[in-house]
Copies of this chain bind each other. A is one copy, B any other.
């Protein structure tokens, strides 16, 4: 990794933590640069402004999510029911593993669709498409209810999983992990089955 890349990375890492802790509007650029171990001005060598740091963080995370979903969609040896359950579980696992990241992403939901964040919208759009395909596939294979309209089911599904995760992260100690993993799959599967 080159030096330049290293500093960009440090800013993103620090931004992640500070944004997650304070939220976008209460996060201070100086806190980010301090945590990143660089000068205040250096931030502006790598990012246009505060918003662009957040944008890139969110794009990174959701890109990872999308990659995982693409893998699942591409599998041929499992049912749609299994695919959709696996997708939910995968997202849950990702969120748990990087709970700090997840928290941040979840809290800044208001920005997901902000038109000024083009790249982000693009990534989010990509995720919606994958999920759309996943659901459509289930319908086509007659595994899922025929009345379901995939384009409307997608936001339903995303909101459900997202808020479930938010809850799970806040109540990490109240239930064994298996319960969370089990429940998210049951609920998601059930949502679409005939």
A156 and B25 contact, CB distance less than 8 A: no
How far, in whole Å, are A163 and B184 apart by their CA atoms in the complex? 17
How far, in whole Å, are A109 and B155 apart by their CA atoms in the complex? 16
How far, in whole Å, are A173 and B193 apart by their CA atoms in the complex? 28
CB of A172 within 8 Å of the partner chain: no
How far, in whole Å, are A166 and B113 apart by their CA atoms in the complex? 11
Given A23-B110, A156-B160, A156-B184, 7 more pairs with CB closer than 8 A: A24-B25, A107-B110, A148-B183, A152-B179, A156-B164, A162-B163, A190-B193
The verdict on A152 contacting B166 (CB below 8 Å), with A191-B187, A192-B190 known, is no
A residues with CB within 8 A of B: 23-25, 107-110, 113, 145, 147-149, 152-164, 166-168, 170, 175, 179-180, 182-184, 186-187, 190-193
A156 and B109 contact, CB distance less than 8 A: no
How far, in whole Å, are A164 and B158 apart by their CA atoms in the complex? 9
**Interface hub of A152, A155, A191, A193 (most chain B Cβ within 10 A):** A152
A155 and B166 contact, CB distance less than 8 A: yes
The verdict on A167 contacting B190 (CB below 8 Å), with A23-B110, A183-B149 known, is no
Residues of B within 8 A of A155 (CB): 163-164, 166-167
